[in-house]
């Protein structure tokens, strides 16, 4: 679950930005001839709902409904005792207690007289929700994610960039030769402490001792061939970077075909997922992680950037 700082900084993401997104969703409602669009979210799939309302389902599932011309409605199974907090960090004013999400959605649609609604990425719903929803009386129109999320805006890119700068400066300070001799647990703790105190919402640290890919700490010692990978979420916006103790770098994207490269989408359904060719058609936030072979060892170097039709630019 999330245990970092979940907040809404109105200076970096003004209410007007959400108003523009809702306006675009209104247009999608018109395009798909539906009175409302629904988006699913859970702990590891929060990017889409974060985009709509800044809601982060830190410990559960939720459905966000955007009726045409209205502010979004949140259906969630979290206790009403946390609703004031949710309202303080999102644009949600209406939150409906929903221990049974499909039943509550059906009731809402009945109250509104809706017989069909749009669902973002219908086939991506968890199977239990999917079967309950599609076997009910409502008709669901699939709204492809490609239609829903346009190219990243300047405000989104700025938050990804802030996260990247935090992680970059931290790794450059912590992952030096002075880290050699620490256990990977100790290095993980140091990185987490500084990033979480700097306001990270979530942090995932993986360490390689040169003989493996970056993995969760397992008690090995940091050495001259060690690398650390940090995935950091800042106000709902992910970045991923890797550095190594010997400061070996690579051009990004790498020019040498022999280097093993993994590219990930950081603004997709999950926090990160493998990048496909179709994701390159517009500006999306991605990471490139490169494995550099050095003798029998592997070092890792990577960073995050904006991937578009014209190439990749470092954040």
Residue 106 in contact with other proteins, rule: CB under 8 A = no
Binder of other proteins out of 123, 137, 296, 310 (CB under 8 A): 123
| Cβ-based burial of 140 (10 A; exposed 0-12, middle 13-18, buried ≥19) | middle
How far from 48 is each of 135, 261, 267, 294, CA to CA, in Å? 25, 27, 8, 40
Q: Which stretch binds other proteins (CB under 8 A): 74-82, 104-112, 150-158, 160-168?
A: 74-82
Binder of other proteins out of 150, 181, 216, 311 (CB under 8 A): 216
Please give the Cα distance from 70 to 67 (Å, whole number): 5
Please give the Cα distance from 72 to 100 (Å, whole number): 19
First to last CA, the chain: 27
Residue 7 in contact with other proteins, rule: CB under 8 A = yes
User: By rule CB under 8 A, what string of x and - marks binding of each residue 189-208 to other proteins?
Assistant: xx-xx--xx-x----xxx--
Binder of other proteins out of 16, 20, 30, 44 (CB under 8 A): 44
Alpha helices for 33-124 (secondary structure H): 47-53, 83-89, 101-112
Residue 1 in contact with other proteins, rule: CB under 8 A = yes
Binder of other proteins out of 11, 81, 135, 310 (CB under 8 A): 81
**Closest-CA residue to 171 (of 6, 271, 304):** 304
Of 22 and 290, CB closest to other proteins: 290
How far from 184 is each of 216, 229, 231, 249, 264, CA to CA, in Å? 8, 12, 16, 21, 24
Binder of other proteins out of 70, 116, 124, 248 (CB under 8 A): 124
Of 3 and 177, CB closest to other proteins: 3
Q: Interface with other proteins by CB under 8 A: which residues?
A: 1-7, 42-45, 58, 79-82, 85, 122-128, 130-131, 185-186, 188-190, 192-193, 196-197, 199, 204-206, 212-217, 219, 260, 262, 269-276
């Amino acid at each position: 679950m999330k245990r970092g700082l979940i907040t809404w900084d109105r200076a970096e993401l003004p209410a007007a930005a959400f108003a523009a997104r809702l306006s675009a969703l209104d247009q999608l409602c018109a395009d798909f001839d539906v009175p409302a669009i629904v988006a699913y979210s859970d702990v590891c799939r929060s990017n889409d709902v974060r985009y709509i309302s800044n809601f982060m389902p830190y410990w559960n599932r939720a459905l966000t409904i955007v009726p045409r011309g209205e502010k979004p409605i949140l259906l969630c199974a979290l206790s009403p005792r946390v609703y004031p907090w949710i309202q303080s960090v999102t644009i949600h004013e209406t939150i409906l207690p929903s221990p049974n999400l499909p039943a509550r959605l059906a009731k809402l649609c009945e109250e509104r007289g809706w017989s069909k609604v749009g669902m973002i990425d219908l086939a991506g719903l968890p199977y239990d929700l999917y079967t309950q929803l599609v076997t009910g009386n409502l008709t669901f129109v699939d709204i492809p994610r490609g239609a829903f999320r346009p190219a990243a805006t300047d405000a989104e890119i700025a938050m990804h960039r802030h996260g990247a700068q935090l992680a970059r400066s931290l790794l450059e300070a912590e992952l030096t030769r002075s880290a050699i001799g620490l256990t990977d647990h100790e290095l993980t703790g140091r990185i987490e402490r500084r990033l979480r105190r700097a306001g990270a919402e979530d942090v995932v640290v993986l360490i390689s001792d040169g003989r493996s890919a970056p993995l969760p700490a397992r008690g090995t010692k940091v050495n001259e061939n060690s690398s650390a990978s940090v995935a950091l979420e800042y106000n709902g916006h992910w970045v991923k970077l890797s550095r190594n103790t010997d400061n070996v770098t690579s051009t990004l994207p790498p020019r040498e075909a022999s280097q093993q490269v993994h590219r990930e989408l950081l603004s997709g359904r999950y926090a990160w997922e493998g990048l496909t060719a179709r994701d390159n058609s517009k500006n999306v936030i991605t990471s490139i992680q490169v494995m550099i072979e050095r003798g029998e060892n592997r070092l890792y170097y990577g960073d995050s950037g904006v991937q578009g039709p014209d190439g990749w630019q470092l954040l």
